């Protein structure tokens, strides 16, 4: 099982208690951190396997479409040096697909 999988409705994360999941690197080299647990900006907040929204952090370039992503950014001034909270799982799936999928 890879670190992340996607379904139509939910984000599925391979739960690794006490560990941060590795960055997702896409086919075109774009990379981002996707985290979900009781300690992250996600829904639900308790540890589970299925998340409707997740925390995205420190992408290697500004996420597109920016007008949709900017509302989740802690700092819109520095889109590659910030955390994006409670991002809907379908947006994350679409962003990864835009960059050719996870490598």
Single pTM value for the model: 0.85
Rg (CA), the chain: 12
For residue 54, what are its two tokens? 């997740």
| pLDDT at res. 10 | 53
Q: CB of 55 within 8 A of CB of 30?
A: no
Instruction: Report pLDDT digits (tens) over 48-85.
Output: 778 899 999 999 999 999 999 999 999 989 999 999 99
Domain positions in the chain: 4-98
Instruction: Report pLDDT digits (tens) over 32-54.
Output: 999 988 888 999 887 777 889 99
Alpha-carbon span 48 to 46, nearest angstrom? 6
Alpha-carbon span 68 to 83, nearest angstrom? 15
């Amino acid at each position: 099982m890879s670190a992340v999988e996607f379904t139509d409705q939910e984000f599925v994360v391979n739960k690794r208690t006490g560990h941060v999941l590795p960055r997702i690197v896409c086919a075109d080299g774009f990379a981002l951190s996707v985290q979900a647990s009781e300690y992250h900006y996600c829904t639900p907040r308790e540890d589970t396997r299925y998340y409707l929204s997740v925390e995205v952090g420190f992408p290697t370039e500004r996420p597109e479409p920016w007008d949709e992503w900017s509302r989740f950014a802690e700092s819109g001034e520095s889109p590659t040096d910030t955390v994006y909270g409670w991002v809907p799982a379908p947006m994350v799936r679409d962003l990864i697909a835009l960059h050719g999928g996870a490598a």
